[in-house]
A = this chain, B = another copy of it.
């Protein structure tokens, strides 16, 4: 195969950049003149992008349009909202380039993150870590009584991709009743699957509702006032997917009026929330700043995932995490 040109606009540290350069040699690595700050942030359009056979990063859509030789785009995040349009899918099809994302890279950290939310809620960690009460005191008895065990509880997972698959593995020792919602059930999920039309009955009995939906035209405000009302009183809601899939005002209202027991959010809309947003004043809301996928050596893991796919690409094999 003739030398390929890989254009990478991801904000990699030096180690990861060297790993990438060595890993693709003798093929050519082209870096933009202005490196992005992070692997998750879109870069500006760089003229060199137009010469690329392969792009790794978060290129602007207009940049991809100009890359007429492009055969493969690997996105350095799990989410790919800006590319997930009928127009872009049509472009990828007509030009014949493949699109992959990095969901495998973030699946472990994201699943552990939402699992940490679930256990922190069950064990009442935010409250318990702040209390200095004495054993046997009224506040101590109340705190103990408010604590619970995940074991034998019931969970609904919205969206069934790499993160949900891993989360289900992690929850196996807890003997929970788990149902996942998927728009197009494939029959090989290994757990109970419902479609959006069948979701209401599953929400009615779930102790935990875990939203991992990607953001696209179908999922905007999927969690609405109506959906929240379908959840049982006291249910705990988690969002580890994308903020825009949830009507934030409706979520805040459901916490303020006491219907939801708590909400644990790694994503919001917008991010970060403005200081006067009703979610900040809502009771029992716990928010982390979109870090669920974070882990030490993140860019190294990203590059290794790309290099694994690069070998597959050279061999003409199926790419992992293909989304188009």
Over the window 127-154 of chain A, the binary record of Cβ atoms lying under 8 Å from chain B Cβ atoms (1 yes, 0 no) is 0110111111000110111111111000
**When chains A and B are docked, how far (Å) is the Cα of A120 from the Cα of B119?**
9
CA distance A95 to B120 in the complex (A): 45
A134 touches B294 (CB 8 A): no
Contact size range, A:
35 or more
* B113 and A123 within 8 A (CB): yes
A119 touches B115 (CB 8 A): yes
With A136-B41, A291-B128 as given contacts, are A149 and B108 in contact (CB-CB < 8 Å)?
yes
Nearest B residue (CB) for A151: B108
Do A131 and B289 have beta carbons less than 8 Å apart?
Answer: yes
Query: Cβ of B133 and Cβ of A289 under 8 Å apart?
Result: yes
With an 8 A cutoff between CB atoms, is A247 at the interface? no
Residues 16-56 of chain A: 1 if any B CB is under 8 Å from the residue's CB, otherwise 0? 00000000000000000000011011000000000000000
Contact pattern, A 114-125, Cβ under 8 Å of B = 1, otherwise 0: 011001101111
A143 / chain B contacts, CB cutoff of 8 Å = 289, 291, 294
Is residue A172 contacting chain B, with contact meaning CB distance below 8 A? yes
Contacts of A115 in B (CB 8 A): 119
- Please provide the chain A residues from 269 to 324 with a CB less than 8 Å away from any CB of chain B in the complex: 271-273, 286-296, 298
The verdict on A201 contacting chain B, using a C-beta distance below 8 Å, is no
A144-B294, A146-B296, A147-B296 are contacts. A288–B129 as well, Cβ < 8 Å?
yes
- Whether A176 sits at the interface, judged by CB under 8 Å, is no
The residues in A between 149 and 180 inclusive whose CB is less than 8 angstroms from any CB of B are 149-151, 169-170, 172-174
B272, A132: Cβ atoms closer than 8 Å: yes
Inter-chain CA distance A128–B173, complex, in Å, is: 27
Across the interface, do A112 and B116 meet the contact criterion of CB distance under 8 Å? no
Of the residues B38, B136, B172, B291, contact of A40 by C-beta under 8 Å = B136
Bound Cα distance from A131 to B294, whole angstroms = 15
Subset of 6 A-B contacts with CB under 8 Å: A112-B150, A119-B119, A125-B288, A126-B129, A135-B289, A170-B174
